[in-house]
Structure 1
Amino acid sequence: MQKKRIGILSYLFNFWCIVWLIIVYLALFPFIFICIKIKKLNRYGTKLTNIWADIFFVIVGMPVKIEHRFKPDRTKNYVFVANHFSYLDVAVGMKVVRNYFSYMGKSSVKNIPLLGYMFAKLHIQVDRGDKESRSKSMMRSKKALDAGRSLFIMPEGGIISQEIPKMHQPFKDGAFLLAIGSKVPIVPITFLNLYEIMPDKTIFWGIPKVIMHEPIDTSNYSKENLEELKTRVYEIIQNELDAYKNGN
C-alpha cells in the first residue's frame, strides 16, 4: 500500500479531528459515567457512544456511507465481525452497529485517558498473550450473548495484515465459537476504505464506506465445522475488499 504524503492541510485536519473527538467525548462523558455506575443503564452508555460517533463524523465532515444489505433487529443480538486495517475501525464501528453491544478487544486500550475507562467498563478486554485473560474474556462474552447483548469482534486479532487489503489468516476462533455456542447469527461487516483514510496514526479526509452483510445462521454449525464457518465469513468480507480495490 502506497504511503500518503503528509502536508500542512493534513496536519490541520488531524488537529481539527483530535480537538472535536475530545470535545464531544468530554461533553458526553458525565452521562456515560452515570450509565457505567448504574448497571441498569449500561445499555444507554453504549447508545451514548453511538451518539458520540454520529456527532464526531458529521462535525469533521466525514459522513459514514453504509450499504445495508441487512438491517439488524435492535431487539435481537448478533456477533458482528469485521476486517481490521485501521485505527479508525473502532470509531466507525460505533457509528455502524446500533444494537446494544460490547467490543471484544485489546486490553491495552484501557490505558487511553477517559476513553480507556469507558472501554474497560462497557466493553470486554482481552490480553491475547495471557491464556487466563483469554479464558475470562470468552466467559464474559458468552454471558453477554446469553443475556441478550451483541458482540463486535475483529477476528484477525489486531492490525497485523502485511498485505492490506488482504486480511490476515487464520482468523482467531473466538468470535465463531461464541456464535456457535450461543446459536447467535454472525453478521459480517466490510470496512472498505478506512485503511486509505487512516493508514497509520494520521487521518486523511475521506468518506468512510461500510457494507453490512446479511447474517449467517449458526444453528447448523458446530466445533467440527468451525473452519468452514471461518472461511465463509472471510470470503464474504474479502470479496468486497477485492472488488473495491479492483474498481479503483
Structure 2
Amino acid sequence: MKNKSSLISFSLRGLYTIWAGLVFVSIFLALYPFIFVFLQRRSWKRVAHRLVRLWGQLFFLFSGIRIKVTHHFKPDPKQTYVFCSNHFSYVDIAVVVVIIHQFFSFVGKNAMKKIPLFGYLYASLNILVDRNDKNSRASSLSRSLRALQSGRSIVIFPEGGIVFKQLPYMGNPLKDGAFIMAIQQQVPIVPMSFHNNHQIMDEDTLLMRPGVLHVEIHPPIETLGLTMEDLPVLREKVFESIQNPILAYYGLK
C-alpha cells in the first residue's frame, strides 16, 4: 500500500512538474521578443531586467507557488548591496529575481549560456564564471567590482553552487569572492535564508510541487572600514546569518 501511495505521489508530482515547465516556457517565449529588444542597449537593460522579474512573478502566480518573505530589513532600491544566500535548489534563481527589487547581476556559472535563447538573456544581464578556471574567476571578480562601482547590486551564492547534499546544512567554508568585492567596494552584504526551496523543487530529480516558499531577508552586514584581514570573520558572520535561521526553521538549533 505504501509503495502504491508513493507511486501515486511521484506521478502527481511528475504531472505538476510538466505543467509548471509549460507555464515557465510559455511565459518566457511570450516575453522574450520584448526582452531581446531591451537587451540591445546598455541603457535599456533595466527594462529587460524588469521584464525578467515579470516573467518570474507570472510563473509563480500561474504555477500555484507562493513566496512568503520575512523582512528583517527592506533593501533601499537606491542603495547598492551584495546579496548572499544559500543555494539548495535551481528554483532559488527565480525566487531572487522576484524578491529583490534592485537592478542587479547574478554571478553564475557560464554553462547557463549554452541554453538556447535563455543563455543569451542570462549572459547579457549577468556575470558568468567558470569556477574551475582561475582567469575566469579573476575576470568575473573584476566585472563584479565594476558593476558595484556603477551602482548595480550583485547577487551571489557563496557556496559556489548546489554543492552540499546534507540539507539543510550549507557547504562551508564559503567562497571568498562575495566578501572580497564587498570589502573592496565598501558595500553592505545582505544575507538571505531560503528555507524550503529544495522541497518545492528537488535538486536531484527536478520534480516540483506547489506550496509556499519561505524566505528571510536579514539586516545588512556593513563592510565600511573593513580590510582583507577582516575577510575570515566577515565570511563566518555571513555564514551564520544565513545558516542559523535555516536550522531554526527545521528545529535543529
TM-score, structure 1 as length reference? 0.95
Q: Give the whole-Å Cα distance in 2 for the aligned partners of 1:108 and 1:207.
A: 29
Q: Give the whole-Å Cα distance in 2 for the aligned partners of 1:5 and 1:79.
A: 43
Q: Which residue of 2 aligns with 1:228?
A: 233
Are 1:173 and 2:212 matched, yes or no?
A: no
| Residues 1:215 and 1:4: Cα distance change in structure 2 (over 3 Å) | farther
Amino acid at match of 2:106: Y
Q: 1:215 aligns with which of 194, 212, 220?
A: 220
Deviation of 1:220 (Å): 2.7
Structure-to-structure mapping, 1:129-140, within 5 angstroms? 129-140=132-143
Q: Which residue of 2 aligns with 1:70?
A: 73
Q: Give the whole-Å Cα distance in 1 for the aligned partners of 2:50 and 2:62.
A: 19
Q: Which residue of 2 aligns with 1:101?
A: 104
- Structure 1: runs of 5 or more not aligned: none
Q: Give the whole-Å Cα distance in 1 for the aligned partners of 2:157 and 2:72.
A: 20
Q: Give the whole-Å Cα distance in 1 for the aligned partners of 2:42 and 2:165.
A: 41
Deviation of 1:34 (Å): 1.3
Amino acid at match of 2:111: S
Q: Give the whole-Å Cα distance in 2 for the aligned partners of 1:4 and 1:225.
A: 52
Amino acid at match of 1:96: I
Are 1:119 and 2:139 matched, yes or no?
A: no
Amino acid at match of 1:40: S
Are 1:59 and 2:25 matched, yes or no?
A: no
Q: 2:43 aligns with which of 37, 40, 43?
A: 40
Deviation of 1:29 (Å): 0.9
Deviation of 1:162 (Å): 2.8
Are 1:31 and 2:34 matched, yes or no?
A: yes
Q: 2:18 aligns with which of 15, 19, 37?
A: 15
Q: Give the whole-Å Cα distance in 2 for the aligned partners of 1:192 and 1:138.
A: 28
Number of residues paired by the alignment?
245
Give the secondary structure class of the aligned counterpart of 1:44: helix
Are 1:194 and 2:231 matched, yes or no?
A: no
Amino acid at match of 2:96: G
Q: Give the whole-Å Cα distance in 2 for the aligned partners of 1:67 and 1:73.
A: 16
Give the secondary structure class of the aligned counterpart of 1:208: strand
Give the secondary structure class of the aligned counterpart of 2:60: helix
Q: Look at both structures and tell me which one has the larger radius of gyration over its CA atoms.
A: 2
Q: Give the whole-Å Cα distance in 1 for the aligned partners of 2:120 and 2:55.
A: 16
Deviation of 1:7 (Å): 2.1
* 1:179-215 CA distance string (max 9 Å, x none): 1100111000100101111122111222111111111
Q: Give the whole-Å Cα distance in 1 for the aligned partners of 2:14 and 2:63.
A: 14
Deviation of 1:18 (Å): 0.5
Deviation of 1:5 (Å): 8.1
Give the secondary structure class of the aligned counterpart of 1:202: coil
- Structure 2: runs of 5 or more not aligned: 1-5
Are 1:240 and 2:245 matched, yes or no?
A: yes
